[in-house]
Amino acid sequence: MKILVTGAAGFIGSELALRLLKEGHDVTGVDCFTAYYDVNLKRNRVKRLLEYKNFRMHEVHVEDEDAMTAAFNDSKPEIVVHLAAQAGVRYSLDHPREYISSNIVGSFNVIELARLHGIKHLVVASTSSAYGANQKFPFEETDAAPHPLTIYAATKLSSELIAHSHSHLYGTPTTLLRFFSVYGPWGRPDMAFFLFTDRIFKGQPIDVYNHGDLMRDFTYIDDLVESIRRLMDTPPVAGMSVTRNDSLSPVAPYRLVNIGHATPVRLMDYIEAIETAIGKTAVKNMLDMQPGDVKQTYADVSLLEALTGYVPTTDVKDGIQAFVEWYRDYYKPD
Ligand SMILES: NC(=O)c1ccc[n+]([C@@H]2O[C@H](COP(=O)([O-])OP(=O)(O)OC[C@H]3O[C@@H](n4cnc5c(N)ncnc54)[C@H](O)[C@@H]3O)[C@@H](O)[C@H]2O)c1
């Protein structure tokens, strides 16, 4: 199959692209290698992809309509997986404009080009942050989510809505994926699991927000990739609900799907798993809650299971162990 993956130099995009290349698909990657975090890490992720002759890379901004048109013409994709985004909840407090251009203008370009190319399935990354101030746990895709707490979440909700209107008007089968705190080898240096590991190895204090009283539904990267891969083969069909709580739109071949482990973990237990894997205790800088943060995330994954017969299973201790082993091998901190 011909597949276009945006954000192919990113954590999730590179892992998904690798999986697709190993399966023998023709993969076109799109990424502009933003300097939001270590660009070398992004280049090294892509190096692994360039070893496959069924891979090609377009180094472009998703908001550049002409460059994206060229990438689509080159790829002629049957499936598009749109993962490129200015990610990160906290950075959005100080850099809101980057989110508007990458996540709204850029996503619109991808959604528009996907419909012009009449693709079979458009898969777009959203986030658990879309649930915003919701207090009903676990989060279900059919819950109304009108109260985003950050510009990041607001831009992701916006692209969900743009994708829905296009799916309704033009019939593009579209699945929006709400990811829950993804971690693992080749992960993102701005995320807590990476920052904690890095600082513990270096003997530097770690910042623990809300005095550790936070819970997160942490999803291991391999489980996430397996879920995305299965969902790619399951495009929504208008009027064909699979469960009573299916988020399928009543007016479009469009649905939202959570991908999480469905097992919230206390932040202090997560830190302890990292300490154990490294063999060192962290110096903890206990701080108040950050603006825009939520106390808990928790995914209902019954829709994912009904659609794919699969749910994430990797225990946090095993996932952290695998990440710390990768970190040791990649950065040689000892
Ligand atoms: N990692 C998580 O825990 C998590 C959770 C929820 C949602 N998500 C979403 O999943 C997707 C992938 O996340 P990730 O963790 O791999 O992040 P990432 O930052 O590692 O990957 C995103 C990639 O997009 C690229 N990019 C950013 N702006 C771009 C632009 N304007 N044009 C072209 N490329 C651009 C970046 O260079 C980067 O390589 C994102 O949409 C993110 O919002 C991730």
Q: Which one is catalytic: 37, 131, 152, 327? A: 152
DSSP for 242-282 reads: -STT----SSSSEEEEEE--S--EEHHHHHHHHHHHHTSPP
Nearest to 232 by CA among 10, 58, 23, 11: 23
Mutate-to-test residue for ligand 1 from 19, 48, 83, 270, highest number of ligand atoms within 8 A of CB? 83
Q: What separation in Å is there between the alpha carbon of 280 and the centre of ligand 1? A: 31
Give tens-digit pLDDT for 172-228.
Answer: 999 999 999 999 999 999 999 999 999 999 999 999 999 999 999 999 999 999 999
Give tens-digit pLDDT for 261-311.
Answer: 999 999 999 999 999 999 999 999 999 999 999 999 999 999 999 999 999
d(CA 212, CA 86): 26
* pLDDT given at position 42: 98
* pLDDT given at position 321: 98
pLDDT bracket for residue 28 (50, 70, 90): very high
Which stretch of 88-92, 134-138, 247-251, 321-325 has the lowest confidence by average pLDDT?
A: 88-92
Q: Which helix (H) or strand (E) holds 206?
A: strand 206-208
Q: What separation in Å is there between the alpha carbon of 229 and the centre of ligand 1? A: 17
Q: Is the pTM of this model over 0.85?
A: yes
Give tens-digit pLDDT for 135-164.
Answer: 999 999 999 999 999 999 999 999 999 999
Structure tokens, 10: 């990113």
Pairing of strands 26-30, 55-58: parallel
174 lines ligand 1 (CB under 6 A): no
Nearest to 104 by CA among 80, 124, 90, 79: 124
pLDDT bracket for residue 334 (50, 70, 90): confident
Residue ranges of domains in the chain = 2-184+219-260+299-312
Is 317's pLDDT higher than 90? yes
pLDDT bracket for residue 76 (50, 70, 90): very high
CATH of region 2-184+219-260+299-312 = 3.40.50.720
Q: Are 107 and 162 in contact (CB under 8 A)?
A: yes
What's the chain's average pLDDT? 97
Whether residue 152 lies in the annotated active site? yes
* pLDDT given at position 79: 98
* pLDDT given at position 33: 98
127 lines ligand 1 (CB under 6 A): yes
157 lines ligand 1 (CB under 6 A): no
d(CA 306, CA 316): 24
Is 132's pLDDT higher than 90? yes
Mutate-to-test residue for ligand 1 from 97, 182, 191, highest number of ligand atoms within 8 A of CB? 182
Q: What are the distances in angstroms from CA 184 to CA 60, 101, 225, 239, 274? A: 26, 28, 11, 37, 12
> Degrees (nearest 5) of the Cα angle 110, 133, 248?
45
* pLDDT given at position 82: 98
Q: Are 323 and 185 in contact (CB under 8 A)?
A: yes
